[in-house]
Amino acid sequence: MKLDYLSNDLDTTNNERSIKIFRCIRWVNGVYCPKCRSFEINNRGTYGNLNRYTCKNCNNNFNDFTRTMFHKSKISLGEIFYILNNLGNKSIKEMSEELNCSRQSIHRISRLFNEELDKKN
């Protein structure tokens, strides 16, 4: 997947497309258990737009967002991608008005993203 193609797709609030992109990135080497790292999993169907899984080794239940910054977010993934893609270009107030969500929610996404980047460095 080309990076320029990916960045064009991230500039959308289309949640279904964003979740497909997220799955391609998260599970690039295949779906694995975030607890024991086993690739032996059962697909348990969907909940909303998320796939649900059970690990055959440790019996852990998880979904596409488990142990990510998106896990308990009430903002859709498409909107989160839109926020992350526009952090340097638009103010929190502008994005809040465009997405019809609170400034605190956008600030929280920004903070979580920066914390994740700090962990990686």
Please, are residues 31 and 41 in contact by the beta-carbon 8 Å criterion?
Answer: yes
Average pLDDT over residues 51-67: 96
Q: Which of 120, 15, 6 is nearest to 69 (CA)?
A: 120
Q: How far apart are the first and last CA of the chain?
A: 25
Please, are residues 55 and 40 in contact by the beta-carbon 8 Å criterion?
Answer: yes
Whole-number pLDDT of residue 13? 57
1 pLDDT exceeds 90? Answer: no
Average pLDDT over residues 70-85: 87
CA 100 to chain centroid: 20
Q: Is 18 exposed, middle or buried (0-12, 13-18, 19+ CB in 10 A)?
A: buried
Structural domain boundaries in the chain: 1-27+68-121, 28-63
User: Per 3-state DSSP, what percentage of the chain is helix, strand, and coil (rounded to 5)?
Assistant: 45, 15, 40
Average pLDDT over residues 21-46: 95
Whole-number pLDDT of residue 74? 81
Q: Which of 101, 50, 41, 44 is nearest to 72 (CA)?
A: 50
Query: What is the SS3 assignment for 65?
Result: coil
